[in-house]
Amino acid sequence: MSETIQTSGQEQRVLLHNEIEKHVRPDTFPLAIRVLRPGEEVSAKAKRPLRDLHVQLSICQAITMSRRYGWAIALGGEDVSCPIAKAVFHFEEPLEFYTKGNLAHGMYAETQACGELSEAAVPKFTKEESGTIVVSPLNRAEFEPDVVVVYGNSAQVMRMVAVSLYKTGGAITSEFSARADCAELIIRTMQADSAQVILPCYGDRVFGQTYDHEMAFSFPYRMASDVMEGFAGTHRGGVRYPIPSFLHYQAKYPATYEKLNDMWKEQE
């Protein structure tokens, strides 16, 4: 894999995309996501929801559009409709009404105190970390991603977990809350600088229309070379998708079927 390790830029993104398509076979495009730093400009090819689609979107909607339509989408605060996303990505100052748990209370949490704990558990950007979020299919991305995201079924996500651990061993640690998976996909992956298994949240299913069978896997783009080596190494070791079925056995049939087999044997 030395050639893969030495490539960079667009070539590496295409190679990584091709490896994911070959070994994981996801139903939707693997995604590149970047949070733009001060001074970085949005590509003219990227759609701005408010300007170009004349609507504000939740971040999970934009992610689904990108992975299903193949669009590049850029979201600043003016493009985002979801109040939780506005708060945790710091497009707006998180008001006490939010931090004290009022959004979770009565829906996800029995008491306001429980709701406050639930909101505190959601990863958040500081004002300095905040920036326009750009989402694009990985092989078409005109930027270096912070994060790569792949949606798939549990077996496909398992394949990605095995790949991400090939060079290090050990296990992946992820957190699940059934809320704000956009923050887990992007913010937690960036802040933890580690791969994450993502359980799509309620909003991702309602607004992003993520299917019941889908999960997601995210990893920092800095892991691209290791992930590609992981695909090659685990494939050699026999860890593959689709999962091969064990078929080297002799079936046991109903008694009448077996009786007919026995009758033939008696005639030999």
- Residue 248 CA to residue 245 CA, distance in Å, equals 9
Q: What does the pLDDT profile of the chain (268 residues) look like in tens digits?
A: 434 444 569 999 999 999 999 999 999 999 999 999 999 999 999 999 999 999 999 999 999 999 999 999 999 999 999 999 999 999 999 999 999 999 999 999 999 999 999 999 999 999 999 999 999 999 999 999 999 999 999 999 999 999 999 999 999 999 999 999 999 999 999 999 999 999 999 999 999 999 999 999 999 999 999 999 999 999 999 999 999 999 999 999 999 999 999 999 999 8
The domain limits of the chain are 2-244
- Tell if the pTM clears 0.75, that is, is over it: yes
Q: Where are the beta strands (DSSP E) in the chain?
A: 31-35, 73-75, 133-137, 147-152, 196-198, 215-220
| Three-state DSSP state, 184 | helix
SS3 94: coil
User: Which two tokens mark 52?
Assistant: 């170009």
Q: What is the pLDDT of residues 23-39, one digit of tens each?
A: 999 999 999 999 999 99
CB neighbour list of residue 38: distance below 8 Å, 6 or more residues apart? 131
Lookup: tokens for 178? 């059934």
| Three-state DSSP class for residue 110 | coil
Q: Quote the pLDDT of residue 8.
A: 62
- Which residues lie below 8 Å from residue 219, measured CB to CB, with a gap of 6+? 147, 148, 160, 164, 189, 194, 195, 196, 227
Q: For residue 7, what pLDDT is reported?
A: 57
Q: Is 156 strand, coil or helix?
A: helix
Chain centroid to CA 12: how far? 19
39 class by beta-carbon count within 10 Å (0-12 exposed, 13-18 middle, 19+ buried): exposed
Residue 13, amino acid: R
What is the rounded CA–CA span in Å between residue 71 and residue 222? 23
Neighbours of 131 (CB within 10 A): 17
**What does the mean pLDDT of the chain come to?**
96
Instruction: Please count the other Cβ atoms lying within 10 Å of the Cβ belonging to residue 202.
Output: 13
The two tokens of residue 263 are 């009758």
